[in-house]
Amino acid sequence: MRFTHTFNPTSLREYDIRGIVGKTLTIEDAFAIGRAFGSVVRRRGGKTVVTGYDGRLSSPSMEEALVQGLVACGLTVVRVGCGPTPMLYFASVTMQADGAVMVTGSHNPADYNGFKMMLAGKPFFGPQIQELGVLASTGDVVPAEQGAVRALDLRTDYVRRLLRDWDGGSRPLKVVWDSGNSAAGDVLQKLVAGLPGEHTVLNGAIDGHFPAHHPDPTVAKNLEQLITEVRRQKADIGLAFDGDADRIGVVDDQGEILWGDQILILLARDVLKTHPGATIIADVKASQVLFDEVKGAGGKPLMWRTGHSLIKTKMAETGSPLAGEMSGHIFFADKWYGFDDALYAAVRLLGILSRQDKPLSALREALPRTVSTPEVRFDCDDTRKFNVIEEVAARLRKAGADVSEIDGVRVNTPDGWWLLRASNTQAVLVVRAEGPDEAALDRLKQAVVTQLAQSGLSAPDFSGNNAGH
Please, what is the angle between helix 438-454 and helix 382-399, to 10°? 110
What is the C-alpha separation between 236 and 215, in angstroms, rounded?
22
End-to-end CA distance of the chain: 59
Close Cβ partners of 299 (under 8 Å, ≥ 6 residues apart): 268, 272, 275, 276, 277, 278, 279, 280
**CA dist 46 → 43, 75, 119, 128, 386 (Å):** 7, 8, 9, 16, 37
Q: What are phi and psi of 338, to 5 degrees?
A: 90, 5
d(CA 66, CA 35): 8
CA distance 435 to 414: 9
Are the beta carbons of 72 and 144 closer than 8 angstroms? yes
Rg of the Cα atoms in the chain? 22
Please confirm, yes or no, whether 106 is among the known catalytic residues: yes
Q: Which residues, at least 6 apart from 418, have a Cβ–Cβ distance to it below 8 Å?
A: 410, 411, 431, 432, 433, 434, 444, 445, 447, 448
3-state secondary structure of 53: strand
φ, ψ at 148 (rounded to 5°): -140, 160
Element containing residue 233 per DSSP (H, E):
helix 224-233
Set 11, 58, 106, 287: catalytic member = 106
Query: For residue 310, which of 342, 343, 283, 341 has the smallest C-alpha distance?
Result: 283
- Beta-carbon contacts of 99 under 8 Å, excluding residues fewer than 6 positions away, are 37, 38, 40, 41, 46, 48, 49, 50, 75, 92, 117, 118, 119, 120, 124
Q: Is 149 left (phi over 0), alpha (psi -120 to 50) or beta?
A: beta
**SS3 (DSSP) at 231:** helix
Q: Which residues are annotated as catalytic? A: 106
